[in-house]
Amino acid sequence: MSAVDFGIGIYTPPEAARMIGMRPATLRRWLLGYEHDGKFERHLWHPQYDADDDGLLLGFRDLIEARIVNALRDRRIGLQTIRTCIDRARDIVGDERPFSTREFKTDGNTIFLEITRDLEEPIFIDLRRSQGVFKRVVEPTLKDLDFGDEGAERWWLLPGKRTLVADPTRSFGQPIVADHGISTSVLREAVEAEGSVAEVAKLFEIDPAAVRDAVAYEERLTNPKVA
């Protein structure tokens, strides 16, 4: 298995795909490349971990990059168009994973207008005309992220709340309760076993609201929107 570097986070394709709400096989194609009409299509970006005999692993930046690409695919933007956007953004930002950088968040509208300037896909033509390509498609995926100098550092997992987080410096980036570091999956399993949020809150000595948030998050992941 690839060596795990502290602070990068580590996810298998099924784990990452579950958090994003997509198919693991699709995520693997994005990161490893795939055959299409007899031609090999290269990967969209290099993952943070080198794939080895034990398989593909993703870092936290890969997770965020894939989340943004998935948002573009949800708008039926073609993968070749997205590949061109990533290549152009990589040149502008100077980072292998440009969508998960602080620069992309702070100046994303300008960058997105530049990287889509001559693309003929209808959705980009319409969104460029209204200057909404960034705000409508990408900006919503960045609102719940914290950024540092090296890029995305934290993903707050529930909109408008700071109870649950994926932080590559904690629990290898797995979803946890922010104030206590307890895995959301552990809390959900405990509620299923105990049959009561209140009992689990007492057992782990945490706020019942945090337990309810963890259960709600895990239940949402069991029925993801599949891209």
Instruction: Give the lowest-confidence range in 58-72, 107-121, 140-154.
Output: 107-121
For residue 169, the number of C-alpha atoms closer than 13 Å in the C-beta half-sphere is: 5
What percentage of the chain reaches a pLDDT higher than 90? 68
Q: Residue 226 pLDDT > 50, yes or no?
A: no
- C-alpha distances (whole Å) from 21 to each of 220, 223, 225 are 9, 8, 5
Per-residue pLDDT, averaged over 197-206, amounts to: 97
pLDDT of residue 1: 41
With contact defined as beta carbons under 8 Å apart, do 142 and 105 qualify? Answer: yes
Per-residue pLDDT, averaged over 76-85, amounts to: 90
First to last CA, the chain: 28
What percentage of the chain reaches a pLDDT higher than 70? 89
Task: Please state the pTM of the whole predicted model.
Answer: 0.90
- Among 69, 67, 66, 49, CA closest to 58: 49
Which comes out higher in pLDDT, residue 18 or 115?
Answer: 18
pLDDT of residue 225: 52
pLDDT of residue 203: 97
Neighbouring-strand partners of residue 146: 154
Average predicted confidence (pLDDT) for the chain: 89
Q: Residue 136 pLDDT > 80, yes or no?
A: no
CA distance 14 to 162: 25
Please give the distance of CA 13 from its chain centroid, rounded to a whole number. 11
pLDDT of residue 154: 97
Instruction: Give the lowest-confidence range in 9-13, 53-57, 65-69, 123-127.
Output: 123-127
pLDDT of residue 122: 72
Per-residue pLDDT, averaged over 108-135, amounts to: 74
pLDDT of residue 131: 57
Confidence of residue 178 (pLDDT cuts 50, 70, 90): very high
pLDDT of residue 138: 84
Which comes out higher in pLDDT, residue 223 or 22?
Answer: 22
